[in-house]
Every structure is written in structure tokens, then in C-alpha cells.
Chain A
Amino acid sequence: QVQLQEWGPRLVRPSETLSLTCSVSGVAISSGGHHWSWIRQHPGKGPEWLGYIYDNGSAFYRPSLKSRITMSVDTSKNQFSLRLSSVIAADTAVYFCARGRGTVVDSWGQGTLVTVSS
């Protein structure tokens, strides 16, 4: 059974870069067939898909964030990462990493709250 765990700084200053990593266990990212997503959720709101990446490094980003977002994958460590630059208070949210196949995202990490504040 796949398990995902997000980790990274919980507090980020405005204008700086938010960086999170997702460690995957139970399945090898390199086995292929899945995409690996980042999704965030503002308090009291529905989740918001940010983007996803394949094991070969091909990534697809939410258009409104495309200029600020970068995803990467490290198959040797079975991890994938998110970088969101020039953060503002509105980027404060719970960030989830997740696994998907086709149009179905089936497994999520527990999520980590990242606060943007000086």
C-alpha cells in the first residue's frame, strides 16, 4: 500500500520560496504508470490542484501558478518536490502530495500546513 509524507518548512516569509518534499513508500516512483501531484487546501475551502509530475520529470502546472511553480522528482530517493516562489499570504494553506493514474487521484499524504508570514 502506498504511503506519502510531506515535509518541509512550516513557516515561510513573504516573497521567499516555499519548498516541500514528498517521500513515497510502498511503491517505486520509477515503476511508472502514475503521476505525482501537489494539491493545497485553504481553510474552509475545497482542495486546489497545483500540478503533477511523472517519473520521467514531465510536469504539468496549474496555469495561474505556472510562473511561480516548479516540481521535480528524485527516483533514487523515491521523492518528489514542490517549489513555489514569491509567496504571499494567500499561499498559506495545507499542502498535500498525492498519487494519481489517469484522471483519478487515489492516495494522499496527511498534509502539512504552511504559513506565509513575516
Chain B
Amino acid sequence: QSALSQPPSASGTPGQRVTISCSGSGPNIGTNTVNWYQQLPGTAPKLLMYRNDQRTSGVPDRFSGSKSGTSASLAISGLQSEDEAIYYCAPWDDSLNGLVFGGGTKLTVL
């Protein structure tokens, strides 16, 4: 069982805005910044956002991240079919001295 809690699924229609939440605790989100990864089927996770709200090079500004207390969220506006993927939040965890991953949220574009 992951130390982080994400909804297992989310969905939206093209053009809509979707938000994915990630709930953690003191040693992880409460203390460190949050990274978000996007994973397409059969591929490695790809870094999407880092340090809560910084987009990796090439990621469109439709993607945004935020953090408050021990929770974080990833928002995707202007939803597109290519956004269909599994999204993982992943902050550093001081008790683990390593990266901890959420269980993932599977985003479906209807």
C-alpha cells in the first residue's frame, strides 16, 4: 500500500479541465516538493512536472501543478486524446531517503 493516495481513475471529454489529487504526509509532500510522471502503456514513466509546478521542457502549459500542506494536484486543461495515460505523483520521502510514488491515476479521455 502506497504512502501516497491518488484516485485510481479520472476522466473528461476533449477540451475539459481535469484535476488529479495526491495526498501524502509530513515526511514526503509535507517536507519536499512534488514531481509528476506520465506513463503511456508499455513505456517508462516520463517526468512531466517537478518542484510542484515546474514543467519539463516540451510539456504544454495546459499542464499545471500545485501543492498545499501535505497534498498536491495536477491539473490538465483543454484535455486532448493524447493525454490518456497513467499519472503518478512522486515526492521525495525523508523517512525513506528516496522517491515515493502514488498508486497512479488512469486518465481516460471520453
Contact = CB atoms under 8 A, between A and B. Distances in A.
Interface stretch (B61-69, B75-83, B94-102): B94-102
Contacts of A47: 37, 45, 88, 90, 101
Contact of A105 (B33, B35, B43): B35
* Chain B, interface SS category: loop
Contacts of B47: 104-107
B32 interface: yes
Interface residues of B, number: 26
B104 interface: yes
Given A47-B88, A62-B96, A96 B44 contact: yes
Contact of A49 (B32, B44, B98, B102): B98
Contacts of A37: 98-99
In order of increasing CB-CB distance, the 10 nearest A-B pairs are: A103-B92, A108-B44, A46-B101, A49-B98, A49-B99, A104-B50, A47-B101, A46-B103, A46-B104, A106-B47
Interface of B: 2, 32-33, 35, 37, 43-47, 50-51, 56, 88, 90-92, 96-104
